[in-house]
Amino acid sequence: MHTRSGQEAAYRYGAVLALSIVAVVFFIVAPERPLSRAIGLLLMTSMLLTVVATGRGGVVIRRMVAGGAALVAIGVALAIALHGLAAWIGSAVGVVLIGGTLVELVIGLARMLRTQGVTIRAVSGALAVYLLFGLLIALLVNVGARVDSGTFFAQGTDGTQSQHVYFAFTTMTTTGYGDLTPATAYGRALSVIAMLVGQIYLVTVIAMLVGNLRRRRTD
């Protein structure tokens, strides 16, 4: 797909949202196995490529960077699937993939809102940002738990991939079940960031977009 300067960008943020939901559910239900971690990396790669391929501006450079990231991610996924790499390395690569997707998505959303206003696609993209941020927190928890010599949670465990995603989203929504609580300064710092960003984002960005979408439909 070649996007000429000035050509309308596709902004397929509905697809990114769908992939984000699939990724969240997959990381929760998938067994703790190398193949599952490899598939998770490929899911994250597909989100980055979808955002880059349907955006606008600096297309050649962005696609070169995304293509390079995809090749690295696929190589790491194969190495993990074949038991060649430690699990935390895959999580670290995932942090880069999700971080890049978030940056590209936020830039694209800002551009889209300036040119098209609030649309269903914009709301879908904003919701995808929230889910991707949750996955980013979960991956950072995973890296911290695997690298640190002590246990990440006060319950005496480093937790599984499923528990990391569960912990990230219950923290972001300030649900506070209390079954998993961070035991390290790193974990507590991540928890505070997740709570602040998660709550502020929901009550400001999402609320504003949904409110403007309703007004636009009633005009």
How high is the pLDDT of residue 68?
80
Hey, which residues does 182 pair with through a beta bridge?
153
Mean of pLDDT values over 4-21: 74
Q: What percent of the chain has pLDDT over 70?
A: 88
**The dihedral formed by the CA atoms of 191, 192, 195 and 199, expressed in degrees to the nearest 10:** -160
How high is the pLDDT of residue 216?
66
Mean of pLDDT values over 145-152: 85
Tokens linked to 211: 């409110």
Q: What is the pLDDT of residues 149-205, one digit of tens each?
A: 789 999 999 999 999 999 999 999 999 888 999 999 999 999 999 999 999 999 999
Tokens linked to 68: 């390079």
Domains located in the chain, CATH noted: 13-218 (1.10.287.70)
Q: Per the confidence metrics, is the pTM higher than 0.75? A: yes
Question: At residue 116, does pLDDT exceed 50?
Answer: yes
What is residue 153's DSSP assignment? B
Q: What is the pLDDT of residues 59-83, one digit of tens each?
A: 666 667 777 877 888 888 888 878 7
> Kindly report the CA angle at 99 between 169 and 205, in degrees rounded to 5?
60
Residue 51: CA count within 13 A, CB half-sphere = 35
Mean per-residue pLDDT over the chain, rounded? 86
Question: At residue 3, does pLDDT exceed 50?
Answer: no
How high is the pLDDT of residue 6?
39
Which amino acid, residue 110?
Answer: A
Q: Which residue has the higher pLDDT, 115 or 171?
A: 171
